[in-house]
Amino acid sequence: MHPRAAEFASRAEADHGLDVDVHEFDEGTKTAADAAAAIGCEIAEIASSLVFDTPDPVVVVASGANRVSEAKLAAAVGTVENEVGMASPETIRETVGWSIGGVPPFCHDKRVPVYLDETLQGFDEVWAAAGTPQAVFPIAPEAIREIAGAETIDVAE
């Protein structure tokens, strides 16, 4: 197992008592389409953790089938749309401790608000990044909400 995926699994166990079943794919799972193809599931079952500046960083765990509405996210966090945008790779690393494509929905280095795309609630199980662009793990959306302390919101365009 890649050291970063192993680190995520270890942190999930230590911090949350969660035994994650990490799956790694050499072809990568950087995009939701890549992940769905590798796993053999629908794109909507991919739980992509995206970091946005609002202007403070937040994590949105969105269905891979959805594009995040910056207007809806702005309303949810109490700001205006022009103050919402994707965080830079540096901000992502500094804030959550993971790199783009490998950001898990929890086990972040800094405490940041987490928002869960309400459309993920339609699935018993979704697949989220496990620390690298090649590693994912299955988890119930409700478990993401509980472990991450996420607020479930409508963020889909």
Domains detected in the chain: 3-153 (3.90.960.10)
Amino acid code (one letter) for 142: E
> What pLDDT score was predicted for residue 14?
95
Q: How many CB atoms lie within 10 A of CB 87?
A: 21
HEC per residue, 102-123 = CCCCCCCCCCCCEEEEHHHHHC
**pLDDT tens column, 14-55:** 999 999 999 998 876 767 888 898 899 999 999 999 999 998
pTM of the model: 0.93
Average pLDDT over residues 57-83: 94
